[in-house]
Amino acid sequence: MIAPPDELFAAGELAAPAVGAAPAVGWEAFADLGFIAQSVLILVIAVVLAAIIAYHPVVRRKATTLEEIEQPKTLIMYALVGALIAVIVKVQPNMALVVFGIGGLLR
């Protein structure tokens, strides 16, 4: 029979689960420079990669209409929104349902 978790941890058979630092809440979150730097880095990488795709010479050569000329800006905006949603969902997984619901309503 398996012993209750408290007894297993006390006996030293299993390591206690690691408890990390809780994420900053409220105004304290503005002082979390590590998270802010990581989020900005994710957004910058997404925009740079989207710009590489959007402004590729093959894509730019074919642009003849106004919609095709504006397409690179749209691709960059999609990449930025996607990266922002990824950061939000990473911090608060329940927001994935909210984003999915809003997408369904807007469609």
Q: What is the pLDDT of residues 50-105, one digit of tens each?
A: 999 998 887 667 778 888 888 889 999 999 999 999 999 998 899 999 988 988 88
Average of per-residue pLDDT across 41-49? 96
Check if the beta carbon of residue 71 is closer than 8 Å to that of residue 63: yes
Q: Is residue 9 in a domain?
A: no
Q: Is residue 38 in a domain?
A: yes
Q: Is residue 45 in a domain?
A: yes
Rounded to the nearest 5 percent, the helix, strand and coil shares of the chain are 75, 0, 25
**Residue numbers of the domain that contains 96:** 31-106
